[in-house]
Amino acid sequence: MVNSVTNLGRNGLADWLVQRVSGVVLLAYMLVVGFYLFCSGSDLSYEQWSGYFDSTFMRVFSTAAVLSIVSHAWIGLWSVSTDYLTERLMGGRATVLRLAFQAASAVVLFTYLVWGIQILWS
């Protein structure tokens, strides 16, 4: 049996909503940065590029994107781990396996969070 004690939003509806909102934020972010890169072409200079990410708007938007990646990935990895790392599919060790996978996921995503904030705000 899989208990939902490690999910992000405490219930499925909250996770569903967070997954949608973070997905839309990331889609908007990809379109904005992709459009900028496409318009700049290959003669983009360091000054233009760093100036673009120095603006308050891009710092805030990028921070929102980093937070969205982390929460979106947590909900996704949690869903995958609670669907496949189960006693039905993995036998008696499933709970240990699942919690180990979730702990490793948390370490990776926390690293992304700190890394992203460090890139944007230092």
Partner 1 sequence: MWQTVNDKRPVNLDIGTIALPITAYTSILHRVSGVFLVAGVALLFWLLGTSLDGPEGFEQAKACLASFWGKLSLWIVLVGLSYHSAAGVKHLVMDAGIGESMEGGETGAKLVLAATAVLAVLAGLWIW
List residues binding partner 1 (CB under 8 A): 1-4, 20, 23-24, 27, 30, 38, 46, 49-50, 53, 69, 73, 76-77, 79-80, 82, 86, 88, 105, 108-109, 112, 115-116, 118-119
Q: How far is CA 66 from CA 59, 69, 77, 107, in A?
A: 10, 5, 16, 15
Cα(51)–Cα(78) distance, rounded to whole angstroms? 37
Q: Which is nearer to partner 1, 56 or 118 (CB)?
A: 118
State the minimum distance, in angstroms, from the CB of residue 60 to partner 1.
16
Q: Which is nearer to partner 1, 96 or 112 (CB)?
A: 112
CB-CB neighbours of 7 under 10 Å: 18
State the minimum distance, in angstroms, from the CB of residue 99 to partner 1.
16
Q: Which is nearer to partner 1, 64 or 77 (CB)?
A: 77
Side chain identity at residue 115, one-letter code: W
To 5 degrees, how large is the angle CA 33–CA 34–CA 40? 90
